[in-house]
Structure 1
C-alpha cells in the first residue's frame, strides 16, 4: 500500500467518523448552549439540569438519526472489507 492510498483511507475513515458523530455532537452542543443561556437568564445554577437536558437530547437524536447513521457506518465497513484485497495487493 502506498502512503497516498493509506492517507486516502484514513481520510475516508475520519469523514465517516465526522458524519456519524457530528449530528449527535451538534445536538448536544446546541442544547448545552440553550440550557446555559436559560440558566444564566434565570440565575439557576443547578448542575444536573444541563446533564439531563443533554442526555435527553442525545437520546432523542439517536432515536431519530440512529438508523441513518448506522446504515452509513455499515455501508462504509462493507465497502472497506471489499477493498481490503486491493489495499493489500
Structure 2
C-alpha cells in the first residue's frame, strides 16, 4: 500500500466520522448553549437540568437520524471491505 493510498483511506475514514458524529455534536452544542442561556437568565444553576435536557435531546436525535447515520456507516464499511483486495495487491 502506497502512502498516498493510505492517506486517502484515512481521509475517507475521517470524513465518515465527521458525517456520522457531526450532526449529533452540533445538536448537542446548540442545546447546551440554549440551556446555558436559560440557566443564566433564570439563575438556576442546576447541573442536572442541563444533563437531562441533553440526554433527552440526544435520544430524540438518535431516533430521528439514527437510520440515516447507520446506513451511511454501513455503506462506507461495505465499500471498504470490497476495496480490500485492491488495497492489498
Q: TM-score range by the shorter chain?
A: over 0.9
Match of 1:13 in 2: 13
Following TM superposition, by how much is the alpha carbon of 1:36 offset from its aligned partner in structure 2, in angstroms?
0.1
2:39 is aligned with 1:50: no
Following TM superposition, by how much is the alpha carbon of 1:39 offset from its aligned partner in structure 2, in angstroms?
0.2
Match of 1:28 in 2: 28
Match of 1:71 in 2: 71
Q: Normalising by structure 2, what TM-score?
A: 0.99
Tell me how large the CA RMSD over aligned residues is. Answer: 0.3
Could you list the structure 1 runs, at least 4 aligned residues long, displaced by more than 2 angstroms after superposition. Answer: none
Q: How many residues align?
A: 89
Following TM superposition, by how much is the alpha carbon of 1:52 offset from its aligned partner in structure 2, in angstroms?
0.3
Following TM superposition, by how much is the alpha carbon of 1:58 offset from its aligned partner in structure 2, in angstroms?
0.4
Structure 1: 5+ residue runs without aligned partners? none
Match of 1:83 in 2: 83
Q: Normalising by structure 1, what TM-score?
A: 0.99
- In structure 2, C-alpha distance between the alignment counterparts of 1:50 and 1:32, rounded to whole Å: 7
